[in-house]
Structure 1
Amino acid sequence: MDTGTPTPRRRMRADARRNYERLLAEAAAAFAEHGADFSLEGIARRAGVANGTFYGHFATRRTLLEALLGDRMRTLAATGTELLAARSPFEGLATWARAAMVHTTIYRGLGAALMQAVEDETSELHTACKAVLAAGEELVARARTAGEVRPDVTAPDLYALVNAAAWAGEQSSPPQGERLLAFGLDGFRTSATGRE
């Protein structure tokens, strides 16, 4: 029988919510500054909470990344679906590839973490990653069917290009990611839709 929740329990829930939000904010700042491999214990220290509090909210790095990136990944997948209606299938594909590269470079080293999540069905990011990959596959298939990209171009080619461009953007100064992506996409095009 429920006799009402005591005030201390309500306060704990509010405190837990504040800790959760503080941890997300500190994780976003730490990952932006140091990369997606930054120590989870370091994030707890930055947020001023015990490690146990951190792991109570985020059991794994992937749980944390899902909380930080889940909405962004769902938006990227939805953008891919919307771009299936683009007048030029190649331009739809190229627009999505640029958005995917920007997403992958939010945090240095994020691409590797996301690719691991795709392979791990127990990962909190697995479903979101699969939706993103499915969007890319559909865009490649549409551009191939329209004859706007070479018939041998595959979705894994697209993902490899996006990841390589993201890596180049992280490693070079000035960043070369956009240029590499543009060169790669140009190589995807058929001669009929390539450079004038």
Structure 2
Amino acid sequence: MRADAKKNRSQILTVARDVVTEHGADASMRDIARRAGVGLATLLRHFPTREALFEALLCTHLDALTRKADELEASAPADEALLTWFRALVAFAQGYKGVVAMMAAAHTNPDSALYASCEAVHSAGARLLRRAQDEGTARADMNGDDLFALITALGWAVDQPSFAPRADHLVHLITSAILTSRPGQDARKAT
């Protein structure tokens, strides 16, 4: 890639991150191009679809969440690993308004630019859930799809201004419903 093309791509991503943080997943591609100081055609050469732009923006974060799941799996008790990872994913979703809807749609669409990253996050969560289930610290009647759906629902809720201030409480409620008591410990202490 030529130096000017690399500079344009980097500038587009920097501006897109700010615009998406301000306006969410429905941010205007024209607005991003204008603020980045490039033409819409230049933006579209680098990122032919909104999903391709989001994939570039979110890939680093989603990959970090997948790595975090691996680290937690190796270093923390199963219920704590699941809880810590769940909270990290919700915090990520709060940083990009509207991203959970895109993730939910991409998760079952192999043609989506976000599919691979979303599938990796989904698989990481399912692994953490299975580990907690195997240790008897998570409900046995749910699977990775259920976990992903709950995260998506919670991500949508905390995107709403009326629910955003209650995000921590909502995370606590949902994780309390997922996690069971460890022997000799109240479920609330685990969350």
- In structure 1, the residue matched to 2:159 is 170
- In structure 2, the residue matched to 1:5 is none
- In structure 1, the residue matched to 2:104 is 115
- In structure 1, the residue matched to 2:7 is 18
- In structure 1, the residue matched to 2:170 is 180
Q: Give the drift of 1:32.
A: 0.4
Q: Give the drift of 1:169.
A: 2.0
Structure 1 gaps, min length 5? 1-11
The 8 Å contact of residues 73 and 132 in structure 1, kept in 2 or not, is answered as: yes
| TM-score using structure 2 length | 0.89
Match of 2:122 among 123, 127, 133: 133
Task: Please tell me the root mean square deviation across aligned C-alpha atoms, in Å.
Answer: 1.8
Counterpart CA distance in 2 for 1:94 and 1:150 is 13
Structure 2 gaps, min length 5? none
Q: Give the drift of 1:195.
A: 3.9
Question: What are the equivalent positions in structure 2 for 1:41-190 lying under 5 Å apart?
Answer: 41-173=30-162, 175-190=165-180
Larger Rg: 1
Q: Give the drift of 1:191.
A: 4.5
Q: Give the drift of 1:180.
A: 0.5
The 8 Å contact of residues 105 and 170 in structure 1, kept in 2 or not, is answered as: yes
Give secondary structure in 2 for the equivalent of 1:36: helix
The 8 Å contact of residues 89 and 139 in structure 1, kept in 2 or not, is answered as: yes
Q: Give the drift of 1:165.
A: 2.3
Aligned residues: 185
Per-residue CA shift, 1:48-73, capped at 9, x if unaligned?
21111111110011111111111111
